[in-house]
Amino acid sequence: MILKIETNKNNPILRQKSAPITKITEEILSLIQDMNETIIKASGVGLSACQVGKNIRLFVVDKNQSKKWVFINPEIIKMSKKGEVIEEGCLSLPNLFIPIPRSLSLKIKAMDEKGKQFKLKAKGLLARAIQHEIDHLDGILICDKLSKSSNDKQN
């Protein structure tokens, strides 16, 4: 089922820290399936549960439709010091593209949809998508980063 993506940046669900998942239920597995369908329909790279109205620490990444990743209770372990600034968009902020600085690579640990813990080293677009989606889980949108980078330039 295609889910409605929240596009009101002031919606409280997009502005709060998402709750950890304590048990993978049929409802969560169904949500993951629906999120994967939604991301394909929306031509997105990543989608977090809060963007579809669920305040839980879950996101999916569809890297060129060749590999789908599910991240439950993700935690970045390490980020590269080297970074780059690239314009990013967001399914919750249509038609807005903002230059965002991100680390070039990272190491993350999370659980998959079967409840199995995994660690992953990511670089390039996958690393950028992971950082973007974890921001969502922490209530941060790319427009918040614009304000911060504007303030940094003024100081």
Indicate if 133 belongs to the active site: yes
How far from chain centre, in Å, is Cα 131?
7
**Using 50, 70 and 90 to split pLDDT, how confident is the model at 16?**
very high
In a domain, residue 52? The reply is: yes
In a domain, residue 149? The reply is: yes
Domains of the chain: total: 1
In a domain, residue 48? The reply is: yes
Quote the pLDDT of residue 104.
98
CATH number of the domain where residue 57 is located: 3.90.45.10
Range of the domain at 40: 12-154
In a domain, residue 43? The reply is: yes
In 3D space, the residue among 30, 14, 32 whose CA is nearest the CA of residue 93 turns out to be: 14
Separation between Cα atoms, residue 19 and residue 56, nearest integer Å = 5
Separation between Cα atoms, residue 117 and residue 153, nearest integer Å = 40
How does pLDDT run across 59-116, given as a tens digit for each residue?
999 876 567 899 999 999 999 999 999 999 999 999 999 999 999 999 999 999 999 9
Of residues 75, 84, 87, 133, which has the active-site annotation?
133
Cβ count within 10 A of residue 112 = 14
Separation between Cα atoms, residue 23 and residue 13, nearest integer Å = 21
Quote the pLDDT of residue 149.
46
- What global pTM score does this model have? 0.92
